[in-house]
Amino acid sequence: MYRFLNGQSRVWFAMAVCTMALALQSCTSVEPDLVKQEDGYLYGYGKGGSPEEAELEAKRDLIANALESSMRKRSGESRRIIVTGETARGISLEAKRVAELEEETSASVTLRVREEDWESYEAGREVALRKELAPALARLSGARPGAGSAEEAVSALSKLATAGVDGLLTAEEGEAGLLSDAIADQLARLADSVSVSLVPADGLLRAGQQVTVRLTDAGGNPIAGIPLAARWSRGGEPVGELSQSVRTDGQGTAGFQVPAGGESP
């Protein structure tokens, strides 16, 4: 059975259709890179060969903008933060797609998130990272030089960089000192306490000759497991490529062979 709409119903129906059309148009026909940004929101724009690639690029841009905003608020510092795809995928923040455009060979997307939602999410993420890395810092504080302590320090610094917070996360909540600086200081302390000796210590070198490097700590104890590489020079000019990495043995030693052209003049 069909019924005709009366005049008033037709007006309301037309208004509803227009409202729906405007809503759809506002989401799909606006160029993503021309979206008007509103206060209280953080935005990210991305372009790629597919909608998925574009969305990942937009998320990278959004997270970079969010991290930079956090840095400005905390320290007043302003610098560009590079966010990798790995970092973006590891952040489960829910962002809203406010504009998209798909063409034959490319797509572009704009995402946004409320600033307060980002701040709440990031606060929880930083608490988890600080809790995860605090034991590593405690171990490094009392560690003697060795492959394990050096690798743990490098791993912790890499994790902070991958998370995009190496210039943001403090060692203690509410304090100014960065966790990355505290770890780097311990790594520098370990490096400063290492002594390096060479055999032969001086004299002429010839191609094919074996040169032995020995690492010891402040107490004269050998340091095992440290990866070393040699770069040779002659008359101040580099000779050949950086050698393959060799780890020190139980006596703290590693051997390298003088390459052709690396002998003493």
pTM: predicted TM-score of the whole model, two decimal places? 0.63
Cα separation, 102 vs 239, whole angstroms: 53
Compute the 3-state secondary structure of the chain and give helix, strand, coil in percent, each to the nearest 5: 45, 20, 35
pLDDT of res. 250:
86
pLDDT of res. 16:
41
Domains of the chain: 7-117 (3.10.28.20), 133-192 (no CATH), 195-257 (no CATH)
- pLDDT, tens digit (0-9, with 9 covering 90-100), for 84-124: 888 898 888 889 999 999 998 999 999 999 999 999 999 99
Q: In this structure, which amino acid lies at residue 30?
A: V
pLDDT of res. 10:
40
Q: Among 34-43, 169-178, 231-240, which stretch is predicted with the lowest mean pLDDT?
A: 231-240
pLDDT of res. 33:
65
- Structure-token pair, residue 63: 């997270």
Sign of the Cα pseudo-torsion (214, 199, 228, 156, in order): positive
Contact 95, 59 (CB under 8 A): yes
pLDDT higher than threshold 70 for residue 134:
yes
- pLDDT, tens digit (0-9, with 9 covering 90-100), for 170-203: 888 878 788 999 988 888 887 787 888 888 877 6
pLDDT band at 128 (very low <50, low <70, confident <90, very high): very high
Cα separation, 157 vs 162, whole angstroms: 9
Share of the chain above pLDDT 70, in %: 81
Average pLDDT over residues 22-50: 72
pLDDT of res. 264:
47
Contact 157, 183 (CB under 8 A): yes
pLDDT band at 28 (very low <50, low <70, confident <90, very high): very low
Pairing between β-strand 246-247 and β-strand 227-228 as defined by DSSP bridges: antiparallel
The mean pLDDT value of the chain amounts to 80
pLDDT higher than threshold 80 for residue 224:
yes
> 177-206: b or e for each residue (b if 16 or more CB lie within 10 Å)?
ebbbebbeebbeebeeebeeeeeeeeeebe
